[in-house]
Structure 1
Amino acid sequence: SGIATIINTVKNNSDRSVTLEVINSLREWKGNDNVSADSFSTISLAPGETKTIEQKVTAIGMKLWTLDVPFLYVADTQLKIAGVVIDDQATRFGFRSVQWKGGDERGFYLNGEKTYLRGSNFSLGRFFEDPNAGSLAWNEAWVRKLYTSYPKDYNWNLFRTSLGRMPNFWYDIADEEGFLIDDEFAYWTLMGKMKDTETHKFDQAHLEWSIVELEKEFTSWIQENWNHASIAWWSASNETTDLKSYDTISNVRHLDPTRQWENGGWQKPHHPDDPIEDHPYIFAENFNPLLALLGGNQGAGIEALDENSGQHKGPKNPVSIVQMTYPAEHNPYIINEFGWLWLNRDGSATKLTDDIYPRLLGDDNTTATRREAWAYLQAGLTGFWRAKRGYQGVQHFAYLSHSKPGTAYTSDNFIDLENIVMEPRWHEYSKNIWSPAAVYIDKWTDDYVRGEKASIPLIMINDNHFTMNGEVQVFATDEAGRVLTKSERVKVSIAKNGDQNFELELKIPNQKEFVLFAQLTYHDSKKHEVVDKRKVGFKHHGVEVATRPLH
C-alpha cells in the first residue's frame, strides 16, 4: 500500500458562512478502478475565507511510477454542503520519489535506485519562432510521436525544458510515456544585466528583474505543475550570474519539499546535494572568448579529449571563473548542453558554426560532409562524457529547436519536421552511442604505427539496473567495412550502473586510412550489437565510412 498526502485549498466565495465536507478518494487512471476508501473532513468558512486542509489516503496495492511502467492514479476531490456536491476536482499523479545526492553517493535516484540520465532538450521558445512550426506544438498526436519515436530508439529518459516551460499537455504525455523532465524557468541573464544591492532584494521598479515578481512567478509555476510525476527537479535559470535566482529559490523552496533545485550552473548551488549543470562546448574555444571564460573545458578539437579527464569542473580543475568562485566538489553534476557543431535542417552551418566547418573540412565543406562530421563528432563527445562517469547525466542540445538559415544560432537534427524524420547519419550514430550498455574507444589521436600491434583502450559502461554479460571485440576495416584485422573476442560482465576500463590488442593495418570499430554484443530480452568507431588517417571527420564491420 501507499499513502497519498492530499492538500486541498478551499475558498468561500459566497457572502455567507458555510460548513462543508471535503471528500478525497483514489482510483487508477487507466483502469478507473477505485483503490481507496473515501476520506472525510468537515470545515467551516466565513465569507471570503480560505483554508488549506491535508488528508492522507491509502492506496491499496499501490504501484510505483517508473520509466518502464509509468503507472498513474487520480485523486478525486468533492466538496459537499448538506450532502450536495457543489464542486469537484480530479488530479492525476504518480507514486514515485526523486532525489539528487552528492558526495560518495553522487547521482540521481528514482524510487531509491541510482539512475544515470540520458536525453536531450526541448527548446520550445525557439521552436515557436520556426517558420515551419505552424500548429505542430499543439497537435497531441505529433507531440506524442515526438516523445515516443526517436527518444525510445535512443533509450533517452530525460528532457530539459530549455529556457521556459511547455504547454501543459506536453507534461501529461511525459507522465504517460515514462520520461523525466528537468523543468527550467525562462531566466537567462549575463553579467551585463546583473544589478546588485547589498541585500539582493531586487524589488525597485526600474530594475529589469524583480525578486518580488520572480517569487510570484516561481510560486505559480511550482503550484501549477507539482503533481506531474515526470517533473524530476526545478531549474531556476540558465547560464545566469544574477543572484536573484538564488534568492528566489530560498523564498520558494519550502513549497515543494519533494524536489530539488538547479540554478543555471554559473553561480553557487543552493544546497550541497542540488545538481549543477555544465555546458562543456569544446569546439567553442577559438570562436567565443566569453564562453571560454565562463564555460570551461575547451579544446582545439576532438583529439583534445585524450588530455581531458572527463570530470566535472571544480577546485581541482578551475577552468571556469564561476567555479573558481563557488567550487562545489560535493554536488552532483549534469551536462545538458555540449557540442557547438549545429547545422540547420538543410545542412548549412548556423551563425555559431559557419567558421568552424571550414576549419574542420577544408575545401571539402559540403552538406554531406558537414552532416557526417556533425553526427560523428557529436557521437564521440556523447560517448566520452558518458564513459568517463564524471557526470550523472548527459543531454544533447537540442532535440527540438528552430531552423532559420542565415539568422539562427542553433538548430535540431530533423530533415522532415512535420513527419518527424531525423537526419539519417545522426540517427545511425545515436542508436549506438546512447545505448544503456555501451563501449567507448578511449583514444582519438592517430599515433598508430602501421603494421604493428597496438593496445586499444576501451571503456565499458552499463546504465542498466541489471548485470550486463556480453562480448566485446575490436576490428580494423577499410572504408567500406571489410575487415582487415581483428582482436580476440572477450567476454565481459559489468554490474548495474557499472563501468570497466581495459585494453584489447590489435594489429594495425599497413595502410594510412582505416576504420577502428569496437563492438559490444549482449542480450536482455533481445540481442544488442552496439558499436563505437574511429576514423583513422582520413582527410577529415566528414568522410563517410561503413556504419559497422562486415563479418
Structure 2
Amino acid sequence: MRSILNIDGVWDAAEGNLKEAPADFAHSVPVPGLLDMASPAFAEIGLQSGLREAFWVRREFELDREPAPLNLLRIGKARYGTKVILNGTEIGEHRPNHTVGEFDLGGALRRGRNELLVRLGPWRDDEPTSVPDGRDIEAYLAVPGIYDSVELVLADYPYIDVVKTAPDLDAGSVRVSARLRAGAEPATFALDAVVREASSGLSRGTTSSAELTLAAHETRDVEFEVALESPRLWSPEDPFLYTLQLDTPADSRTIRFGMRSFAFDKASGHALLNGQRYPMRGSASAIFRFFEDPDRGDRPWDPEWVRKLHRQFKAMHWNTIRYAIGFPPAFWYDIADEEGLLVIDEFPLFYIDLSDDAPAVKAALALDPSVRSYGLRSITAAQPRTTEPERVSWPAALTADALEAEFTEWVEGHCNHPSVVMWSSNCEGRSPETRVLVERIRTLDPQHRPWGDGWSGPPTDSDPYVAHWYLQWNAAMRGDATGIGMLTEMRKTAIGYPLGGAPHELLPHLRTANKDFDGVPVNTGDHAVLLEEYGWLWLTRDGKPTRLTEPIYETLEGWPAATADERRYTRARLTAAETEFFRCNRTLAGQLLYCALSSSHDRVSTADAFTDLDSLDYEPNFLRYVRDAFAPVGLMVDLWDRELAGGTFHEIPVTAINDLPDDWNGELTVRVRDAATNEVISEQRRALRIPALGQERRYFGLTTVIPAGEHQIVAELTDGDGYSVRSLRDVRIVSA
C-alpha cells in the first residue's frame, strides 16, 4: 500500500550557475520557506542580481525499505522554475511556480541514503514570458524558494492518481471521479470506496465498482456515486467534513470533502450556499505581498499562526476570504475547510495595461487630460512621480495553450476543498486568452464552481460580475475631496475601472429590485454582482499612508489625518461608513474589503489592519468600527452631509439589515451626543423586527432643540442576548 515520506526540514543551500551544483553548500534554509530565511543570509535576495544564475538546495534522507514500483517526488510549490536531481541523476523540470511539481524518480531512488538536489531560478524575470511568475505591479520583491511541503510517495499499481468529488445534495450522495493508472502489467480489480465522518471516523457510506480491467500502462477515469447516511451540510457556520477512502488491491488514497453547493443566481443577484441565499462578507489575503513583509518570518508555515489568522478573519464577521494574487501553502486550504470560510481562489496573474490608451486611463483622461497616474496624486507629464508602480501589459506569450497545464494542476489540486467556492483566472487583467482558458478548464471541476475573469466580465451567465470599486481613487482622479461626502456623490456618478461598463455609467454594478435607489436610476445588469475590492484607505502598521493612499489622506475633507492615530481613526470610520453603504443597498451578492493580510514597509502599496503579527491584534479603531459594519445584523445611518442647518427639522433615515436565515427581534435606538462632552442630547427608541435576509428602514426626527456645534448621531441595534452594533455619523449643526 501507499506510504508517504515527508522530507521537509532544514535543507542545505547555495548560489551558483545553472548547469552544475555548487561544490560547497554553506547556507541552510527551512523547507517549506523562502530563501530570504537562509542562514547565513544571501545578499540581494528577492531582487534582480548578478550574484548568481541559480539557487541550489540539497537534502539527504534515508529510505528504510526498497523502492516501490512507483516512486514520486511531490514539491508542493516552488519558484522560479524547478529542476530535480536525485543521486546524480537528472529527473526533470517543473516550470510552473504555483502548483505541485510531481517527478517520477524511476530507478534513481535507492534504499539507504539518498541525496536530493533542487535548482531554483533566482528572480522572476528569468522565467520565460510564457510562464506565470506571480508578478504583482504593486509589489517589488520576488523571493525564490520551496514554499510548500515536499514529500516522497511510494506506491504500487493500479495507482490512484487524481480524485475529484462533487456533492449531490438532492440525492444525498457524493459523485466521485478517480483517475487510475496501471503499471507494466494489466490489472483486473474492483475499486472500493468508503465515506466517513472526518471528526469521528464513523462510516456513512460504502460502495464498490464493477470489475475493472486496465491494460498495461493504461490511464482511465472512472466515475461512481456513494450514498451517504443522513448527510450533514458544510457551511461557515457548521464546517462539517467527511473523508473519502479509495482502495485498489495495491494502493489506497484518502481525501476530505464537504457536502455543500454554491452558485450565483443571475435572476436574483444572490449568492446561494446549499440552495439558500447567503450574503458574502469578507476580505482578501494577499500571501505574496505578505511574503515581502520584513516581519513575516516563518509565520506562513506555522499552522497555529495560520489557524489564528483565519479565526481573526471570522472575528470580523467575515465569512469569505479571497486568496488574492497568489496561492498560500496547501494546509491553508485545510484550515479554511475546518474553520469555515468561503474561499475565492485566484490565480496569480496581475497584468494591467496602464498605457494612455488603456480603458481605465482613458476614463481618467476624459475628465482631466493631465492625469498620468495609477491611483496616485494627479500629475502631469512634466511632474513625474518616481514611486509610480511599474506598468505591465499582458504578455503575448501568455496564451491559453501556455497556461493550460498549470491551470489544470491548480483546479484538480484544489477542487475537493469545500471552502473553495469560486475560481478567479486573474486580477484586473483583460485578455481573450483567459476567456478561452476558462471555457476549457471549467469542465475539469465536477462541482461547476463559478469563475471570475478579471476585467473581462463574466464568462457565462452562471458567473458573477466582479467589481473593484474604489471610491477614494475615483474621487481623487476627478480632483474631488475624498471625505464621507463622496458617498452622496456616488449616487450621481462614479468613474473608476470600467470593468466592462461605460465609464460614466450611473451607479455601475449595483442592482435593486425596483431599479431605483432614493430616486436615482441604477444599472441592474444581467449578473450577480460581487464587490471584490473596495476601501482605498491603507495604512502601514505604524500609521503611515502607503504610496497609493498618500494623496487620499492629503485631500480628506473634514477628517483628521495629521497624526498616525488620527489617520487610523479616519480609516476606520470611513471604511465602516462605506461598508454600511454597500451592504445596506442590498444589491450585491457579496462585498470584500481589501485587504485582510498584506504587507507593511516603506514601499508598500496596500496594507492590512493588524498592529502586531504575533498577536494578530487588529488596530483598535478598525476593530471597534469596521467589525460592527460587517455584523450579520447591521445598520446604517443614511446621512452623508457633514453640516446641517440649525433651527430646521431634519429627518434621519436608518436602514437595518439581517443576513441571518431567521427573523431578528430587538430594539433600534438613535442618540444624538455632544461631540465635546459626550452628553446625550436626544434619544429615541423603537422595537424592531427584521425579517430573515431582509431589510427595514426607519426615520427619526432631528429636532430643532439640537444646539449649534459638533455632534454625533449614534444608531444602535440591541437585543435581549447582549447583541449590540452601532452606526455613527459626525454632524455639525450650524446656526440658521
Q: Which residue of 2 is the match for residue 271 of structure 1? A: 460
Q: 1:538 Cα deviation (Å)?
A: 10
Give distance in 1, aligned partners of 2:561 and 2:265: 47
Q: 1:533 Cα deviation (Å)?
A: 0.4
Give distance in 2, aligned partners of 1:538 and 1:397: 34
Q: Which residue of 2 is the match for residue 65 of structure 1? A: 234
Matches within 5 A, 1:272-351: 272-285=461-474, 287=476, 300-309=482-491, 318-319=503-504, 329-351=525-547
Q: Do 2:657 and 2:695's aligned partners in 1 also have CA atoms closer than 8 Å?
A: yes
2:697 to 498, 501, 517: 501
Give distance in 2, aligned partners of 1:320 and 1:267: 17
Q: Which residue of 1 is the match for residue 269 of structure 2? A: 106
Which letter maps to 1:180? Answer: L
Q: Which residue of 2 is the match for residue 91 of structure 1? A: 255
Q: Do 2:241 and 2:257's aligned partners in 1 also have CA atoms closer than 8 Å?
A: yes
Deviations 1:483-508 (A, max 9, x none): 43224311221111111223111225
Instruction: Call closer, same or farther: CA 1:235–1:348 in 2, change over 3 Å.
Output: same
Residue 183 of structure 1 pairs with residue 339 of structure 2: no
Residue 123 of structure 1 pairs with residue 305 of structure 2: no
Q: 1:165 Cα deviation (Å)?
A: 1.8
Q: 1:39 Cα deviation (Å)?
A: 2.0
Q: Which residue of 1 is the match for residue 194 of structure 2? A: 25
- List runs of 5+ in structure 1 lacking aligned partners: 81-85, 194-205, 293-297, 540-551
* Secondary structure class of the residue paired with 2:402: helix
Alignment RMSD, CA only?
2.7
Q: Which residue of 2 is the match for residue 5 of structure 1? A: 175
Q: 1:88 Cα deviation (Å)?
A: 0.3
Deviations 1:497-537 (A, max 9, x none): 111223111225212211111111135xx321111001123
Judge which range, 35-44 or 328-337, deviates more: 35-44
Give distance in 2, aligned partners of 1:230 and 1:33: 22
Instruction: Call closer, same or farther: CA 1:212–1:174 in 2, change over 3 Å.
Output: same
* Secondary structure class of the residue paired with 1:381: helix
Q: Which residue of 1 is the match for residue 407 of structure 2? A: 218
Deviations 1:2-22 (A, max 9, x none): 21111111111x322221221
Q: 1:374 Cα deviation (Å)?
A: 0.7
- TM-score by structure 1 length? 0.86
| Identical counterparts, % of pairs | 30
Which letter maps to 2:254? Answer: A
Q: Do 1:19 and 1:45's aligned partners in 2 also have CA atoms closer than 8 Å?
A: yes
2:213 to 41, 44, 49: 44
Give distance in 2, aligned partners of 1:276 and 1:52: 34
Q: 1:426 Cα deviation (Å)?
A: 0.6
Greater share of helix:
1
Instruction: Call closer, same or farther: CA 1:538–1:489 in 2, change over 3 Å.
Output: closer
Give distance in 2, aligned partners of 1:454 and 1:538: 11
Give distance in 2, aligned partners of 1:112 and 1:244: 32
Q: Do 2:553 and 2:561's aligned partners in 1 also have CA atoms closer than 8 Å?
A: no
Q: Do 1:311 and 1:389's aligned partners in 2 also have CA atoms closer than 8 Å?
A: no
Judge which range, 412-421 or 354-363, deviates more: 354-363
Q: Do 2:455 and 2:500's aligned partners in 1 also have CA atoms closer than 8 Å?
A: no
How many equivalent residue pairs? Answer: 507
Q: Do 1:310 and 1:385's aligned partners in 2 also have CA atoms closer than 8 Å?
A: no
Residue 532 of structure 1 pairs with residue 721 of structure 2: no
Give distance in 2, aligned partners of 1:506 and 1:320: 34
Q: Do 2:450 and 2:462's aligned partners in 1 also have CA atoms closer than 8 Å?
A: no
Q: 1:244 Cα deviation (Å)?
A: 1.2
* Secondary structure class of the residue paired with 2:597: coil
Q: Do 1:181 and 1:232's aligned partners in 2 also have CA atoms closer than 8 Å?
A: yes
Q: 1:429 Cα deviation (Å)?
A: 0.6
Deviations 1:424-476 (A, max 9, x none): 11111123111111110111113422254321111111111111112112111
Q: 1:71 Cα deviation (Å)?
A: 0.9
Q: 1:328 Cα deviation (Å)?
A: 7.9
Q: Do 2:671 and 2:682's aligned partners in 1 also have CA atoms closer than 8 Å?
A: yes
Give distance in 1, aligned partners of 2:469 and 2:439: 28
Give distance in 1, aligned partners of 2:296 and 2:422: 28
Instruction: Call closer, same or farther: CA 1:166–1:210 in 2, change over 3 Å.
Output: same
Q: Which residue of 2 is the match for residue 404 of structure 1? A: 601
Which letter maps to 2:432? Answer: L
Q: 1:55 Cα deviation (Å)?
A: 1.8
Q: Do 1:234 and 1:261's aligned partners in 2 also have CA atoms closer than 8 Å?
A: yes
Q: Do 2:269 and 2:587's aligned partners in 1 also have CA atoms closer than 8 Å?
A: no
Q: 1:153 Cα deviation (Å)?
A: 2.5
* Secondary structure class of the residue paired with 1:208: coil
Which letter maps to 1:97? Answer: S
Q: Do 1:121 and 1:159's aligned partners in 2 also have CA atoms closer than 8 Å?
A: yes
Q: Do 2:196 and 2:202's aligned partners in 1 also have CA atoms closer than 8 Å?
A: yes
Q: Do 2:421 and 2:450's aligned partners in 1 also have CA atoms closer than 8 Å?
A: no
Deviations 1:268-317 (A, max 9, x none): 3111231111111111135458xx9xxxxx97432021243499989997
- TM-score by structure 2 length? 0.65
Q: Which residue of 1 is the match for residue 678 of structure 2? A: 482
* Secondary structure class of the residue paired with 2:309: helix
Matches within 5 A, 1:342-361: 342-360=538-556
Q: Which residue of 1 is the match for residue 442 of structure 2? A: 253
Which letter maps to 1:471? Answer: E
Q: Which residue of 1 is the match for residue 224 of structure 2? A: 55
Which letter maps to 2:629? Answer: I
Give distance in 2, aligned partners of 1:310 and 1:144: 43
Q: Which residue of 2 is the match for residue 168 of structure 1? A: 330
Residue 395 of structure 1 pairs with residue 613 of structure 2: no
Give distance in 2, aligned partners of 1:192 and 1:102: 32
Which letter maps to 2:255? Answer: T
Instruction: Extract structure 1 runs of 4+ deviating beyond 6 A.
Output: 310-317
Q: 1:248 Cα deviation (Å)?
A: 0.7
Give distance in 2, aligned partners of 1:167 and 1:106: 33
Deviations 1:40-81 (A, max 9, x none): 33211222111111121111121111221111111101111x
Give distance in 2, aligned partners of 1:232 and 1:72: 15
- List runs of 5+ in structure 2 lacking aligned partners: 1-170, 356-394, 510-522
Which letter maps to 2:191? Answer: V
Q: Do 1:436 and 1:463's aligned partners in 2 also have CA atoms closer than 8 Å?
A: yes
Q: Which residue of 2 is the match for residue 153 of structure 1? A: 315
Q: Which residue of 2 is the match for residue 196 of structure 1? A: none
Instruction: Call closer, same or farther: CA 1:285–1:61 in 2, change over 3 Å.
Output: closer
Q: Do 2:643 and 2:731's aligned partners in 1 also have CA atoms closer than 8 Å?
A: no
* Secondary structure class of the residue paired with 1:336: strand
Give distance in 2, aligned partners of 1:409 and 1:89: 43
Residue 375 of structure 1 pairs with residue 572 of structure 2: yes
Q: Do 2:456 and 2:499's aligned partners in 1 also have CA atoms closer than 8 Å?
A: no
Q: Which residue of 1 is the match for residue 367 of structure 2? A: none
Instruction: Call closer, same or farther: CA 1:315–1:474 in 2, change over 3 Å.
Output: farther
Instruction: Call closer, same or farther: CA 1:305–1:419 in 2, change over 3 Å.
Output: same
Residue 415 of structure 1 pairs with residue 611 of structure 2: yes
Which letter maps to 1:152? Answer: K
Q: Do 1:282 and 1:301's aligned partners in 2 also have CA atoms closer than 8 Å?
A: no
Which letter maps to 1:52? Answer: D
2:629 to 405, 421, 433: 433
Instruction: Call closer, same or farther: CA 1:52–1:310 in 2, change over 3 Å.
Output: farther
Q: Do 1:277 and 1:336's aligned partners in 2 also have CA atoms closer than 8 Å?
A: yes
Instruction: Call closer, same or farther: CA 1:364–1:403 in 2, change over 3 Å.
Output: closer
Which letter maps to 1:518? Answer: A
Matches within 5 A, 1:232-251: 232-251=421-440
Which letter maps to 1:114? Answer: R
Q: 1:175 Cα deviation (Å)?
A: 0.6
Give distance in 2, aligned partners of 1:391 and 1:215: 32
Which letter maps to 1:408? Answer: V
Give distance in 2, aligned partners of 1:422 and 1:61: 40
Instruction: Call closer, same or farther: CA 1:365–1:538 in 2, change over 3 Å.
Output: farther
Q: 1:362 Cα deviation (Å)?
A: 8.4
Instruction: Call closer, same or farther: CA 1:311–1:111 in 2, change over 3 Å.
Output: farther
Kindly name which structure, 1 or 2, has the bigger radius of gyration based on alpha carbons.
2
